[in-house]
Amino acid sequence: MDKAHVADILDEIGTLLDIQGENVFKCRAYHNAARIITGLSDDLTALVASGAIRNVKGIGEALSDKITELVTTGRLAYFDDLKASFPPGVFEMMKIQGVGPKKVKVLLETLKITTVDQLAKACTEGRLETVDGFGKKTQENILAGIELLRKHSSQFLFSVAERAALTILRRMAERPDVLQCEIAGSIRRKKEVVGDIDIVVAAKKANAKKILSAFAAHESVQRVIAEGETKASVVLDIGINCDLRVVDPAEYPFALHYFTGSKDHNVRIRALAKTRELSLNEYGFSALGAKEARGKAKRIIPCATEDDIYRTLGLSLIPPELREDNGEVEASEAGSLPVLIEERDIRGTFHCHTTYSDGANTIAEMSEAARALGWEYLGLADHSKAAAYANGMDETRVRKQQKEIDLVNQNYTDFRILKGIEVDILATGELDFSDAVLSTFDYVVASVHSGFKMSEADMTRRILKAVSNKYVTMIGHLTGRLLLLREGYALNRHEIIDAAAGQGTIIEINAHPSRLDLDWRLCRYAKEKGMLFAINPDAHVVDGLADVRYGVGTARKGWLEKKDVLNTSTLREVERYLSLT
Ligand code: DGT
Ligand code: CA
Ligand code: CA
Ligand code: ZN
């Protein structure tokens, strides 16, 4: 079990104890332990194996026993028992934006509410208004949160779905009877949220049944929906459906292409095949008009790869991320497909947090982690004072941090920590620091963290004002959305992009898997307006730096190339861009 998973469970224990009304110190100990585990720079499995986990500050004897049980067995009896002592609806309720343990506790005790349905009913009947600590506004927000939760109940974050898909794919790839395998569907297309997992496997027909039973018996499978000769459908423990199809090696590229989609892209490609007197389906090409049948006789143009399929149609390979029928077929025909940015093009990043605000790791830990990724620079952008909930820095702490950065930078000749700030855009559009303070940073990220409920016109004006501030290098998480949880604030995104592109202000692609904001659907528009982008992980722990890969997925899906993204530049180029040399 990895660090993140262990930390999640510790956090959840703390929360459940909170609801039970345990004493605050005990609850806090679990939440603290979760933070400590997340921020560990050492390998957790090794710490457990050597027993050194016991000596980590903040982890006492009882906690280290629990962590050891989790890491070595993948389970924790104490947690299972604790969870079982709650009505199951409680966990569902806590998924509602704005409903935490404190509210759940009150709801349980005063209104005896134990399910989301009961909560929704209580809201519509106006019964929450009367409860201490709740009000009309809270009641409205909770109801909106429930609607959103219901709307998205069958959708999953890309990161969550991909992680689950990879555990199955890896198992398949290890099997000698599996000749090729790949994740298809919306995950392969890097959609930010997905409905289910699609996996395609190439194998000899004689081995299909064995492979499908192994799949159905995978430890992450909770329930088998159907298991046939060539396909099985299951529900995984995280609640997502997963379809696995076993096809003949000769059919594999066709099946992979078909099940990668999107449906609209497939329709376009099939129409193109028709113009060449060909019929295309998930098994192969056949002569148009020939009776659709499976089998060698009909498969008139053998293809070993997707590349071959596209070539047969006079196209160059269209990367999966672009297969949304957004002009990619035309661009491929014209030979004008973009050469998409790749993960390995990234040389650093600009929006990360440290213990100076709400991050879990120190400056030195973050910079070492960035160096381990092979990066040349790491821009730190801790919160400013208005973000009090996130331990935002005042002017004094800013000076202290900048001194510490200078000190740590002395250790490096081939790497530089950049002094940034994530400054709050106040309700008026003014920034949280004076120009004099802003001028002390190497660059400035400006973000909205409050007053989400403004009108579209007011919010647009607010952000436009920040865009035009000469100290602002980039705008952070433009819409503030939290995927599947919270819609972004009302905003005229096109107007802001136009202004930002015109004034040379960057709009970041926030790579946190819950944000992926700027949305890929707007990247191409912004690029056409001349926008430069930055891909930022918004990391609050060392492991968060690797989230840039999700941002690269978004950038690729938005047709971006290496040259469109500032953090593909070398340190020297970035220094020049930020006028640091
Ligand atoms: P999702 O799962 O909702 O996030 O999105 P997808 O794109 O993974 O959709 P899914 O799982 O229903 O189907 C996987 C792919 O299979 C889809 O992208 C294209 C292909 N496909 C499914 N149904 C049809 C269809 O009726 N016509 C065509 N042309 N392709 C289809
Ligand atoms: Ca799918
Ligand atoms: Ca599917
Ligand atoms: Zn932020």
Q: Is the pLDDT higher at 380 or at 154? A: 380
Quote the ligand 1 centre to 100 CA distance (angstroms).
36
The protein residue whose alpha carbon is closest to atom 26 in ligand 1 is 263
Q: Residue range 55-62: average pLDDT?
A: 88
Q: Where in the chain is the domain with CATH 3.20.20.140?
A: 343-577
Q: What is the pLDDT, as a whole number, of residue 292?
A: 54
Q: Residue range 143-151: average pLDDT?
A: 87
| pLDDT at position 296 over 50 | no
Q: What is the pLDDT, as a whole number, of residue 91?
A: 86
Q: What is the pLDDT, as a whole number, of residue 335?
A: 96
- Picking from 260, 255, 242, 237, the residue whose alpha carbon sits closest to that of residue 195 is 242
CB of 102 shorter than 6 A to ligand 1: no
Q: Residue range 523-540: average pLDDT?
A: 97
Quote the ligand 3 centre to 260 CA distance (angstroms).
9
The protein residue whose alpha carbon is closest to atom 31 in ligand 1 is 263
Cβ contact 212:166 at 8 Å:
no
Quote the ligand 4 centre to 530 CA distance (angstroms).
24
Token duo for residue 506: 């960057």
Ligand 1 nearest-atom number relative to CA 197: 2
Token duo for residue 189: 């297309």
What are the pLDDT digits (tens) for 535-567? 999 999 999 999 999 999 999 999 999 999 999
Confidence band (pLDDT; 50, 70, 90) for 196?
very high
| pLDDT at position 215 over 50 | yes
The protein residue whose alpha carbon is closest to atom 8 in ligand 1 is 185
Q: How far apart are CA 409 and CA 241, in angstroms?
A: 48
Residues with CB under 5 A from ligand 3 (ion): 196, 198, 243
From 47-56, 294-303, 407-416, 530-539, the region with the lowest mean pLDDT: 294-303
Q: What is the pLDDT, as a whole number, of residue 425?
A: 98
Q: Residue range 98-110: average pLDDT?
A: 89
CB of 158 shorter than 6 A to ligand 1: no
Residue 176 exposed, middle or buried by CB count within 10 Å (0-12, 13-18, 19+): exposed
CB of 233 shorter than 6 A to ligand 1: no
Q: Residue range 268-284: average pLDDT?
A: 95
Amino acid sitting at position 371: R
Q: What is the mean pLDDT of the chain?
A: 94
CB of 361 shorter than 6 A to ligand 1: no
| pLDDT at position 42 over 50 | yes
Residues above pLDDT 90, as percent of the chain: 82
| pLDDT at position 579 over 60 | yes
The pTM score is: 0.84
Q: Residue range 78-90: average pLDDT?
A: 89
Q: Residue 244: nearest ligand to its CA?
A: 3
CB of 196 shorter than 6 A to ligand 1: yes
Quote the ligand 1 centre to 338 CA distance (angstroms).
25
CB of 186 shorter than 6 A to ligand 1: yes
Mutate which of 154, 186, 269 for ligand 1? The one with the most ligand atoms within 8 Å of its CB, which is 186
| pLDDT at position 295 over 70 | no
Quote the ligand 4 centre to 405 CA distance (angstroms).
21
Mutate which of 187, 263, 282 for ligand 1? The one with the most ligand atoms within 8 Å of its CB, which is 263
Token duo for residue 93: 């309720």
The protein residue whose alpha carbon is closest to atom 17 in ligand 1 is 261
Token duo for residue 2: 């990895």
CB of 267 shorter than 6 A to ligand 1: yes
CB of 266 shorter than 6 A to ligand 1: yes
* ω into 213 cis (within 30 of 0): no
Q: What is the pLDDT, as a whole number, of residue 409?
A: 98
Cβ contact 452:487 at 8 Å:
no
Q: Where in the chain is the domain with CATH 3.30.210.10?
A: 271-337
Confidence band (pLDDT; 50, 70, 90) for 22?
confident
The CATH number, out of the four listed (3.40.50.10440, 3.90.1150.10, 1.10.150.110, 2.60.40.1930), of the domain defined by the range 3-143: 1.10.150.110
- Picking from 493, 543, 549, the residue whose alpha carbon sits closest to that of residue 523 is 493
What are the pLDDT digits (tens) for 43-56? 899 999 999 998 88
Sign for the CA dihedral angle at 339, 341, 342, 347 comes to positive
Mutate which of 159, 198, 241, 325 for ligand 1? The one with the most ligand atoms within 8 Å of its CB, which is 198
Mutate which of 157, 266, 269 for ligand 1? The one with the most ligand atoms within 8 Å of its CB, which is 266
3-class SS of residue 554? helix
Ligand 1 nearest-atom number relative to CA 196: 2
Q: Residue range 94-111: average pLDDT?
A: 89
Quote the ligand 3 centre to 197 CA distance (angstroms).
6
Cβ contact 59:42 at 8 Å:
no
What are the pLDDT digits (tens) for 318-332? 999 999 999 999 999
Q: Residue range 53-68: average pLDDT?
A: 90
Q: What is the pLDDT, as a whole number, of residue 78?
A: 94
Q: Residue range 557-578: average pLDDT?
A: 98
Q: Residue 243: nearest ligand to its CA?
A: 3
Q: How far apart are CA 209 and CA 213, in angstroms?
A: 6
Quote the ligand 2 centre to 256 CA distance (angstroms).
12
Q: Where in the chain is the domain with CATH 1.10.150.110?
A: 3-143
Q: Residue range 154-161: average pLDDT?
A: 95
271-337 has which fold? Beta Polymerase; domain 3 (3.30.210)
343-577 has which fold? TIM Barrel (3.20.20)
152-249 has which fold? Beta Polymerase; domain 2 (3.30.460)
DSSP state letter for 2: -
Q: How far apart are CA 431 and CA 51, in angstroms?
A: 48
What stretches of 53-99 show up as alpha helix (H) in DSSP? 61-73, 77-84, 89-93
Q: Residue 387: nearest ligand to its CA?
A: 4
Quote the ligand 2 centre to 185 CA distance (angstroms).
4
| pLDDT at position 369 over 90 | yes
CB of 258 shorter than 6 A to ligand 1: yes
The protein residue whose alpha carbon is closest to atom 5 in ligand 1 is 186
CB of 194 shorter than 6 A to ligand 1: yes
Q: Residue range 55-81: average pLDDT?
A: 90
CB of 259 shorter than 6 A to ligand 1: yes
Q: What is the pLDDT, as a whole number, of residue 4?
A: 83
Token duo for residue 366: 């973050």
Q: Where in the chain is the domain with CATH 3.30.460.10?
A: 152-249
